[in-house]
Amino acid sequence: MTQENTRFQTMTGDAATREAVEQTAGKSAEEADRSRVAWAWTGAGYGFFVIGLVGLVLPVLPTTIFWIAAAACFAKSCPAMQRRIFAWPVVGPAVEDFLLHGVIQAKSKRAALLGMTLAATILVLLSSSLLISMAGLGLILLGALYVLTRPSTVT
């Protein structure tokens, strides 16, 4: 017989009830923490989703990256909303391919690289500081390398 079994056998009814209440209270605290975390993920998901919606009408604001972030948040809190993003026409399949397979479609790669080239050009032309220009170009280059190294098709 284990020590745990012996302990429960020797407890009075009141002591066993108290211990059960303490264990339940601990689980409730854990569940409350999980609930708060789920609400935080859901809130972040909706925040990213709204920014992506704005990007649908403002061409300078990308939609896909914000919806990728939203779908990743919803994966931890609200899978139904993640599925709704995946089902969204035009953007949804790209989001799903990236999150589930790490794929960036060739058309999306071209658009991303064109946007990065435009941003780098504007940065160089408008920046008054060589340090800021070099830092910005370095970050853009890292982004371009990341995009280029992702597969283009699901294998």
What DSSP state is assigned to residue 89?
T
Joined together, the tokens standing for residue 73 give 């948040």
The residue with tokens 């604001």 is 61
- 7 and 55, same domain (yes or no): yes
Range from 10-14, 40-44, 137-141 carrying the lowest mean pLDDT: 10-14
- 1 and 73, same domain (yes or no): yes
Its domain, for residue 130, covers 103-155
- 155 and 82, same domain (yes or no): no
Burial of 1 (0-12, 13-18, 19+ CB in 10 A): exposed
pLDDT digits (tens, 9 = 90+) for 33-74: 778 888 999 999 999 999 999 988 988 888 889 999 999 999
pLDDT digits (tens, 9 = 90+) for 84-120: 999 999 889 999 999 999 999 999 999 999 999 999 9
* The amino acid at 49: F
In angstroms, the CA 2 to CA 67 distance is: 53
pLDDT at 47: 96
In angstroms, the CA 136 to CA 128 distance is: 12
Joined together, the tokens standing for residue 153 give 């098709």
- 75 and 113, same domain (yes or no): no
- 82 and 110, same domain (yes or no): no
- 21 and 89, same domain (yes or no): yes
- 95 and 111, same domain (yes or no): no
Question: Helix H segments across 58-154?
Answer: 64-75, 79-87, 91-101, 106-126, 130-149
The pTM of this model reads 0.69
Structural domain count, the chain: 2
